[in-house]
């Protein structure tokens, strides 16, 4: 069977899907959450198709999963106004609520989320083609992230539950919320990456307007009720639809205080520039990257191949942290390519519910065409696909293409492919990958492979001032979530880790007074009689 036949043979009849993974009836989501109400939308809807194709009586067809509202500027304004009212210039019930009470709301939400686990995981799988195992991991990681964030917010509160006396001034320093946060996550981690901004933003006392990514919308539906029931009205609001229609007026209003956006730098620039008062806007951005793997002469080939396969092709290479270009020293170039191609051939392709499946269909409709263009362009400039069946497509499935030798004339040398194309560059002089990183528009992470400590130390020292994480004999990755996750240049703005995220969604704020007897009496009375939500020495246990 050639690769094309193999890919076609992966397609099945919908009846062949094991019952517990079936998509079920199409979900017509008419409701959206605004001001503590699930409002019903009667206007135009957006159909949602799965990247999974089935064999039907009339040929191969993508599965219709459901539809969601295409809201207009008016509903977006309602959502924003609800968030503005709930914040109420920092005097609303949520921003002034004691942290312990906010934590209780978040715990209630987490419990409701756990109750909906199976439907969220299943829809995550159907909407973006993520394997069921990875969808489950994404869900579990998100719940763990919420729990860790709750612990971190308690720590933060404990650390500020005291007065500081300095040069005759008495002060209490705490972190205060920033206002209304617009949260927009990416399609590749529509649950996890959205919630890694939304949850800390909420816990710090901000109110939120949340727009799910274009792909990965319906999976959030079971959580709308959970948001409504767990938080005061207006604290969480949702918008759906075309970004130009619903996001532009929100930003143009000037009422958004924080933009939390994970996606491309092109789109983030369009969105942020719409804000009329840029100095008021804080931006927390996770953007694109082109993380290189540098395989040096002394690399252990088994480790390098294994980590480069995982790094470049986990979730079909659709991770911002994926290894998107490999530089391999010419002395080991041939054996590396041979083993790498063999390892890619071993990867299991199939449908997302299949056990141990590794490569699955891609959710972006034109993605396979785009990747094919990259391959064609590289071939035109002298590269070839070195693995069996590389680049063969079947509807939304694109069999990984390992391209070598890649040179600077090719588009794939610079463009972020975010998909299963692996460009391999042969180098003689270590200056080649070093210069690549220095010239790149991106600066997220790098992976170094080698055993010679002189070389690794030299490369590490050169790289730490170019990127934000240097991985040794390991693929690039975001986790563990307690580690800082950020990037230089066009790759990010602000740092996200469990504890850093709490900082980026808040600002250090001080109440201070000269240490006179009368001022001390005032402070004492306010604290003892618990007259203030801010000024307090309560210690969360």
Binding site for ligand G3H (CB under 6 A): 188-189, 193, 319-321, 477-479
Residue 479: in which H helix or E strand, if any? none
With contact defined as beta carbons under 8 Å apart, do 85 and 232 qualify?
A: no
Nearest distance from C-beta of residue 364 to ligand G3H, angstroms: 14
Closest CB to ligand G3H among 194 and 341?
Answer: 194
**Of the two residues 97 and 289, which places its CB atom closer to ligand G3H in the complex?**
289
Question: 78 or 138: whose CB is closer to ligand G3H?
Answer: 138
Q: In whole angstroms, how close is the CB of 484 to ligand G3H at the nearest point?
A: 13
Q: Which is nearer to ligand G3H, 69 or 311 (CB)?
A: 311
307: left (phi over 0), alpha (psi -120 to 50) or beta: alpha
Q: Are strands 258-262 and 488-489 parallel, antiparallel or unpaired?
A: unpaired
Min separation Cβ 486 and ligand G3H, Å: 11
3-state secondary structure 121-165: HHHHHHHHCCCHHHHHHHHHHHHHHHHHHHHHHHHHHHHCCCCEE
Which residue lies nearer to ligand G3H by CB, 193 or 307?
A: 193
Nearest by Cα to 46 from 243, 227, 182, 303? 243
**Would you say 160 or 491 has its CB closer to ligand G3H?**
491
Instruction: Of 410, 408, 365, 362, give the one whose Cα is nearest residue 385.
Output: 410
- The residue among 87 and 195 lying less far from ligand G3H, judged by its C-beta, is 195
Distance CA(69)–CA(219), nearest Å, equals: 14
User: What is the Cα–Cα distance from 173 to 188, expressed in whole angstroms?
Assistant: 38
Measured CA to CA, the distance from residue 313 to residue 319 in angstroms comes to: 9
Q: Shortest approach of ligand G3H to residue 102 CB, angstroms?
A: 26
Would you call 366 helix, strand, or coil by DSSP?
coil
User: In this structure, are residues 424 and 405 in contact, taking their beta carbons and an 8 Å threshold?
Assistant: yes
Instruction: Please identify, using beta-carbon distances, which residue of 157 and 364 lies nearer to ligand G3H.
Output: 364
Question: CA torsion, points 80, 33, 363, 19, in degrees to nearest 10?
Answer: 170
CA gap 253, 179 in Å, rounded: 14
Q: Which of 193, 500 has the CB closer to ligand G3H?
A: 193
- Residue number, 11 or 498, with CB nearest to ligand G3H: 498
CB of 320 to ligand G3H, least distance (A): 3
Burial 257-288 (b: 16+ CB within 10 A, else e): bbbbbbbbbeebeebbebbeeeeebbbbbbbb
Task: Compare residues 320 and 385 and give the one whose CB is closer to ligand G3H.
Answer: 320
| E strand or H helix that includes residue 447 | strand 445-449
User: Rounded to the nearest whole angstrom, what is the least distance from the CB of residue 449 to ligand G3H in the complex?
Assistant: 18
- Least CB distance from residue 192 to ligand G3H, whole Å? 7
Q: Return the number of other C-beta atoms located less than 10 Å from residue 322's C-beta.
A: 29
Shortest spacing between CB 213 and ligand G3H, in angstroms: 12
d(CA 14, CA 54): 6
CB of 93 to ligand G3H, least distance (A): 33
Which residues make beta-bridge pairs with 398? 393
Nearer to ligand G3H, 187 or 449 (CB): 187
Burial 149-163 (b: 16+ CB within 10 A, else e): bbebbbebbeebeeb
Find the shortest distance in angstroms from Cβ 319 to ligand G3H.
Answer: 4
- 282/478 with CB nearer ligand G3H: 478
The DSSP H or E segment spanning 199 is helix 192-203
| Smallest separation (angstroms) from ligand G3H to the CB of 477 | 4
DSSP class per residue in 12-47: B-GGGS-GGG---S-EE--EEEETTEEEEP-S-EEE
Work out how close the CB of 138 gets to ligand G3H at its nearest, in angstroms, rounded to a whole number: 9
User: C-beta of 20: minimal distance to ligand G3H in Å?
Assistant: 26
């Amino acid at each position: 069977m050639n690769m094309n036949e193999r890919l076609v043979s992966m397609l099945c009849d919908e009846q062949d899907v094991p019952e517990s993974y079936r998509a079920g009836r199409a979900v017509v989501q008419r409701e959206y959450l605004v001001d503590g109400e699930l409002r019903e939308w009667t206007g135009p809807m957006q159909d949602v198709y799965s990247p999974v194709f089935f064999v039907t009586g009339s040929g191969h067809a993508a599965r219709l999963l459901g539809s969601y509202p295409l809201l207009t500027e008016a509903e977006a304004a309602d959502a924003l106004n609800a968030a503005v009212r709930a914040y109420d210039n920092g005097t609303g019930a949520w921003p002034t609520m004691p942290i312990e009470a906010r934590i209780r709301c978040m715990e209630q939400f987490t419990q409701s989320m756990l109750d909906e686990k199976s439907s969220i995981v299943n829809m995550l799988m159907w909407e973006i083609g993520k394997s069921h195992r990875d969808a489950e991991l994404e869900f579990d990681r998100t719940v763990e992230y919420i729990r860790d964030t709750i612990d971190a917010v308690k720590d933060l509160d404990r650390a500020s539950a005291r007065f500081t006396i300095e040069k005759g001034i008495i002060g209490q320093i705490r972190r205060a919320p920033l206002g209304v946060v617009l949260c927009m996550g990416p399609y590749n981690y529509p649950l996890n990456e959205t919630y890694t901004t939304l949850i800390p933003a909420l816990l710090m006392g901000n109110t939120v307007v949340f727009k799910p990514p274009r792909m990965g919308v319906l999976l959030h539906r079971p959580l709308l009720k959970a948001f409504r029931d767990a938080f005061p009205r207006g604290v969480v609001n949702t918008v759906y639809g075309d970004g130009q229609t619903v996001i532009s007026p929100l930003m143009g209003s000037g009422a958004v205080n924080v933009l939390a956006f994970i996606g491309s730098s092109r789109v983030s620039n369009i969105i942020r520039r719409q804000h009329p008062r840029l100095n008021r806007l804080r931006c927390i951005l996770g953007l694109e990257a082109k993380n290189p793997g540098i395989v040096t002469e002394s690399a252990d080939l088994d480790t390098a191949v294994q980590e480069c396969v995982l790094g470049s092709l986990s979730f079909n290479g659709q991770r911002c942290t994926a290894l998107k270009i490999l530089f391999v020293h010419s002395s080991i170039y041939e054996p590396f390519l041979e083993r790498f191609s063999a390892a890619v051939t071993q990867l299991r392709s199939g449908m997302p519910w299949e056990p141990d499946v590794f490569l699955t269909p891609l959710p972006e409709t034109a993605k396979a065409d785009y990747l094919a263009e990259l391959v064609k362009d590289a071939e035109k400039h002298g590269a070839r696909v070195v693995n069996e069946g590389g680049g063969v497509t079947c509807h939304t499935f694109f069999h990984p293409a390992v391209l070598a030798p890649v040179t600077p004339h090719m588009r794939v040398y610079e463009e972020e492919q975010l998909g299963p194309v692996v460009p391999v560059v042969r180098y003689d002089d270590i200056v080649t990958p070093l210069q690549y990183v220095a010239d790149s528009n991106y600066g997220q992470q790098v992976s170094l492979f080698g055993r010679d400590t002189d070389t690794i130390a030299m490369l590490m020292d050169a790289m730490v001032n170019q990127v934000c994480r240097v991985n040794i004999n390991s693929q690039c990755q975001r986790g563990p979530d307690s580690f800082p996750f950020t990037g230089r240049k066009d790759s990010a703005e602000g740092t996200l880790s469990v504890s850093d995220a709490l900082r980026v969604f808040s600002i250090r704020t001080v109440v201070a007074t000269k240490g006179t007897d009368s001022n001390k009496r005032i402070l004492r009375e306010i604290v003892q009689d618990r007259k203030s939500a801010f000024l307090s020495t309560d210690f969360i246990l």
